[in-house]
Amino acid sequence: MKPLLIAANWKMHKTAAEAKAYFKEFWPLANGVKGKLIVLCVPFTCLHALAPLVQKTTVCLGAQDVHFGEEGAFTGEISPRMLTETGASYVIVGHSERRKLFHEDDELVNKKLHAAISHGLKPIFCVGESLEQRNQGKEKKVVASQVLNGLKGISWPSLRNVSIAYEPVWAIGTGVAATPKQAGEMHTFIREVLEKEFGQDAAKAIPLLYGGSVKTDNIKELTSLEDVDGALVGGASLDAEKFSELISNA
């Protein structure tokens, strides 16, 4: 059986010093938990600080965004090569906060996915509908189009390093997670979309993570669902003790 992929998204939290203190508390608690692959997606400024600490552990490091270019006049941006040099192996792409607050569209997300893959990074590609879209009954249409547009021009086996995180926007940071029925239905649907577009091997291999108000007390129920292969955790990943408890509960 594939290990569950449990990824933390710290968002804009923690300095490098705070990240190091977190990891020193976290690893002794999480070390020994079996059957889970742990990824910490941290601010860019924490990557170099954490790299030597995670090196002797099974924890992987990830970033929360990447630019699609090799280098150039892109003030404030970070290239895939800059990321891989820090020791990051994962990168979140297309998070709903980037789509909403920084106006990233499917086309940009697609370019970032191409760039990440071609540099050997493992993208955690985020999709998810807004509350308005769900209330209008459009959630599947929206998610299918995000998946297909985001992965345009990429095929199996290049897709083998991609995970998809279904994060309904209305569940992020609200304390209201999708119900197991809602999450299960959407994950099964995404699996069908992948199978139709990329074939059975791709559909089976791509881990599907759920994100949005995942906590210590609902992780078990969500990750027990057939098509849920892990979780992307925001707020509940910021405290080392709580996050290690969440991981062992999964």
With binding defined as CB under 6 A, does residue 168 bind ligand 13P? no
As measured in angstroms, the least distance from the Cβ of 48 to ligand 13P is 22
Site stretch for ligand 13P (CB under 6 A), options 106-114, 128-136, 146-154, 231-239: 231-239
187 given a catalytic annotation: no
With binding defined as CB under 6 A, does residue 172 bind ligand 13P? yes
Instruction: Spot the catalytic one: 97, 104, 129, 167.
Output: 167
Do 228 and 189 meet the contact criterion of CB atoms below 8 Å apart? no
- Which residue in 43, 184, 212, 230 binds ligand 13P (CB under 6 A)? 212
Q: Which residue is nearest to ligand 13P (CB)?
A: 234
With binding defined as CB under 6 A, does residue 232 bind ligand 13P? yes
- Which residue in 127, 233, 240, 250 binds ligand 13P (CB under 6 A)? 233
Q: How many residues bind ligand 13P (CB under 6 A)?
A: 14
Radius of gyration of the CA atoms of the chain, in A: 17
As measured in angstroms, the least distance from the Cβ of 75 to ligand 13P is 26
Instruction: Spot the catalytic one: 95, 104, 129, 187.
Output: 95
Tell me the one-letter amino acid at 5: L
167 given a catalytic annotation: yes
232 to each of 8, 9, 81, 196, 200, how far by Cα in Å? 6, 7, 24, 25, 24
CB-based burial of residue 224 (10 Å sphere; 0-12 exposed, 13-18 middle, 19+ buried)?
exposed
Site stretch for ligand 13P (CB under 6 A), options 30-38, 103-111, 145-153, 226-234: 226-234
* CA angle 65–155–114, rounded 5-degree value: 25
Cα 159 from Cα 202, distance rounded (Å)? 7
With binding defined as CB under 6 A, does residue 234 bind ligand 13P? yes
| Residue 9, phi then psi, degrees to nearest 5 | -120, 100
CB-based burial of residue 161 (10 Å sphere; 0-12 exposed, 13-18 middle, 19+ buried)?
middle
Residues carrying an active site annotation: 95, 167
Residues that bind ligand 13P (CB under 6 A): 9, 95, 167, 172-173, 211-214, 232-236
